[in-house]
A and B are shown apart, each in its own frame.
Chain A
Amino acid sequence: MSAVAAAQGVRSQARRETLWRLLRSPTFLVGTLIVGFWIFCAFYGSKLAPYDPLVQYDNDITVPPGSTSVDDRHVHFLFGTDQLGRDVLSRVLTGATDTLRIAPAATLVGIVGGTVLGLLMGYFRGWLDDVLGRAIDAFLALPLLIVAITALTGLGHSNRTLVLVIGFAFSLTVSRTVRAAVLAERDLDYIQAAQLRGERAPYILFVEILPNIMGPIIVEATVRLGYAIFTVAALTFLGFGVQPPSPDWSLQVADNFTLLVQGDFAWTVLPPALAIASLVVGVNLIADGLQETLDR
């Protein structure tokens, strides 16, 4: 039996090697650090934040970074306050929660839906592939934001609708990637071998093919996550996404960007905007790192 254990050892060793390569990739590490920080903030941001992100210091409207409160000399606004007198630092630290709840959920919906769709199209080909393929092409020709706004207006605003709408749109994009991967697999002989022992389509799709195309699906998932964060941010900025009173970053930008026109109030907009950017960049760095490692 020790030989069996040895074989298993070889297998887990191969997995360990992939992990090790991943951990040696600077791109992946930096991305993980950034994203990890924001995930931590999403959970414990309220404990890190010096003040309540929703409290309005009525006498400290748009004070610059580093100011001390007029009412209480123990209150310091490290990043300044916004036009309602709320502490910018506290709001940045707590503003990740909604985005990091909606974007991964939407990505998950998109990946699951797209994988099923892609498997079906790639495996069965024929009229199913033709009809679905053309329909998807037509749908993806429409700008995502317009489609999402229309759907959200029709279905009403809620985080769940947001997840479903973005998830649906993403599943179409994902299905193309998955379909291409399935096409390469279905020509391999192991599919015929499975058919020759009388396997049915669901077994072939999910047990035979799916494990072999997990690499591209994982990479696609991280790439999609980046886009999902961006889409949520854009919709929120336009007023169709996360709703007040959440301290969401995009809401902060939306609340305060008009100040930019009036003069030098950059601290109200720049920190949340940079937070969004860093999160998206972080996710994309992870995607790049994964792609490098898994493609080898």
Chain B
Amino acid sequence: MTDAPALDIRDLDVAYSVRGKDRQVLRGVTLQVARGEAYGLVGESGCGKSTAAMAVMRYLPANGRVRGGSIEVAGANVMELGRRDLRRWRASDVGMVYQNPGTALNPSIRVGRQVAEVFTVQGVGSGEARERALEALKLVQIADPASVLQRYPHQLSGGMQQRVIIAMALAKDPALLILDEPTTGLDATVEAEVLDLVAGLQSSLHTSVLFISHNLGVISKMCARVGVLYAGRLVEEGPVEEVLHDPRHPYTVGLLRCVPRGGVRKDHGRLDTIPGFLPNLGDDLPGCVFADRCALAQDRCHTEPPTAHAIGEQHVSLCHFHETAQTLPRLEAADLELTPVDRSAPPLLAFDELGKVFRQHGNDIHALVGVSASVWPGETLGLVGESGSGKTTLARTLLGILEPTSGAMLLEGKKLGGRMTRRSREEVRALQIVFQNPDSALNRRHTVRRILRRSLRKLARLSGKAADARMTELMTSVRLSERYVSARPSQLSGGLKQRLAIARSFAGEPRLVVCDEPTSALDVSVQAAILNLLVELQAKEGVSYIFISHDLGVVRYVSDRIAVLYLGRLMELGPAEVVFDGPHHPYTEALLSAVPTIDGGGRDRIRLEGDIPSAAKPPTGCVFHTRCPRRLGDVCDTTEPPLVEIADGHLMRCHIPLDQLRTLQASPR
């Protein structure tokens, strides 16, 4: 063992060859991860995070090439390893955890064999390997590890799968552990558990970690130092606290401002955005890589690459004007006049005791149980809950994609048909949706013009010149430049695609638009722009939203009221600030404390254990009692609490009296 750092990357230059031309992806990245340190690499998609990880593992795709620089892991030069040494080195010295645990495990091999393989490739006998596999699973705190070994990956939940992968990665006691967005595909509550686990193991085992994430909150929780990557260059690096609270590069400053946090709401003001786009892969950038999007950029920034300026002991910024970086002008749209929601008027959409039962293998799955709520004109109702809580089922039932098993829906007091085929054209037109993933929501063979004109024709009955005029109007209102009318979705960036999808859903002047995680497939800077747009459209058109998101900061920003769902039941419903500030339902409390925030700390940690129970066999009494950190006693196991109005417009389903809840949640645990 030498004293060399766990990872030492110097001047790494990686290029992908695309159609015979080299396109530079990493532009001289230099970073060190000390032994036992957790280093976070943060940046938006396309900035080269994963390429850096792949280069370290020597896993670059066939058209990728390291053109210059060096990579050393624990003193060993990775670039010089021969084929057999590389295999041995990967088997014993580095561990990697990927974003999607479902695809990282072989679906046809039992978990036990896959974990044991880590040891057998190192020459351990099969009997001993099995024992050590069991030990490895115990280390990652899997309940009943012996039985997990006997199961196939698909029999485990996402969180369990990720634990197994972490167990495999740690089992060889690697000199370096690379985690590439390890919790991005997981629910917030599961994410919190996995992050707790990794943080605990990292400090007890002194593993050196390279943690890749787009989420500043996660990085702030997990890492001691952070590097901010932009267009293949490390633009800022330093201790997490310093970089996040005293950023010295305009990009970091902009990135931090984009995230809705600290309880901001749409009526407080608009979100900041970063103008422009990431430069194209392989663009020639003679000066500062961020110059084209930087409001502080001067002539010098476009021609002269900035050198590293030391700010603190370890804090480095690659900006000519790092001292003034924080004076980056706020780029936000003009303030809006949001008309307050008038709840004395009749609601736009009301649903009463809505129930949905799916039949699966002879079992009844109760996806929705007696959900009642109303949405008023111009209001946003936020829907939160873990996956499997019934958010999407509720949204799709309201839209008429699914037919409710029981209950009624009323649009402006008139009963709505269950399926959309039984709704009038006006009713179909009144309710529209913005999907999570614009790639899937837009027909990739249709042009922008075709997509918009067809919606105008079907929903607004417009054709010819009138349709053209309205199309231009729609495109202007979502700020989609008119030059894209003949483009197809593949020629648009993620943000532009989502703008197009929003324009499409507004084609028929809907009364209510369901936004099903509309920004979770987008980068934070793009997310801010899309949220601004949605709020703007609401102010202009008086449209109502049902906004589904797992990102509580985002939900808080856009929502007037919040509904919390668990196992298809409404657990809490109330004005956004009341639901967030408390006293809140123990489930809401758990959801809130699961979110890793940039500001860190502050909130008491309460953790949910285990996974959401099966909706085929929901627990007796209060459905949440099996995981509730504040369970009162037997009453929770036997009697389902009613949904009662505890304050004006604030409904909650819990046995704990309000005062007690208030003191419980106020006192630190």
Binding site for B on A (CB under 8 A): 3-4, 6-8, 10-11, 17, 188-190, 192-193, 195-199, 208, 211-212
Contacts and interface: CB of A to CB of B under 8 A. Distances in A.
Contacts of A197: 428, 454-455, 458-459, 507-508
A-B residue pairs, 8 tightest by C-beta: A3-B483, A211-B445, A189-B441, A197-B458, A189-B435, A7-B486, A189-B440, A188-B440
Interface in B502-520: 504, 507-508
Nearest to B501: A193
Given A7-B491, A197-B455, A197-B507, 5 more contacts: A4-B485, A11-B486, A11-B488, A197-B454, A198-B420
B341 to A, nearest CB: 25
B444 A212 contact: yes
Contacts of B420: 195-196, 198
Given A190-B442, A197-B428, A8 B486 contact: yes
Contacts of B454: 197
B134 interface: no
Among A17, A188, A196, A211, residue most surrounded by chain B Cβ atoms (within 10 Å): A196
A67 to B, nearest CB: 54
A212 B486 contact: no
A3 to B, nearest CB: 3
Contacts of A8: 486
17 contacts: A4-B486, A7-B483, A7-B485, A7-B487, A188-B441, A189-B435, A189-B437, A193-B441, A193-B442, A193-B504, A196-B400, A196-B401, A197-B507, A197-B508, A198-B420, A198-B428, A211-B446
B57 interface: no
A7 B435 CA distance: 26
A10 B432 CA distance: 31
B484 interface: yes
Given A193-B441, A197-B455, A197-B508, A7 B484 contact: yes
Contacts of B431: 196
B224 to A, nearest CB: 41
Given A10-B487, A188-B440, A190-B443, A196 B435 contact: no
Contacts of A190: 440-443
Interface string B406-446: 00000000000000100001001001110111001111111
B555 interface: no
Nearest to B419: A195
B426 to A, nearest CB: 11
A141 B507 CA distance: 50
A6 B483 contact: yes
B212 interface: no
Nearest to A214: B445
A7 B425 CA distance: 34
A10 B491 contact: yes
B614 to A, nearest CB: 23
Contact of A11 (B425, B428, B441, B491): B491
A146 to B, nearest CB: 38
Contact of B401 (A10, A188, A192): A192
A84 to B, nearest CB: 55
Contacts of B455: 197
A254 B488 CA distance: 54
Given A7-B487, A11-B486, A11-B487, A199 B440 contact: no
A216 to B, nearest CB: 14
A240 to B, nearest CB: 42
A198 B440 contact: no
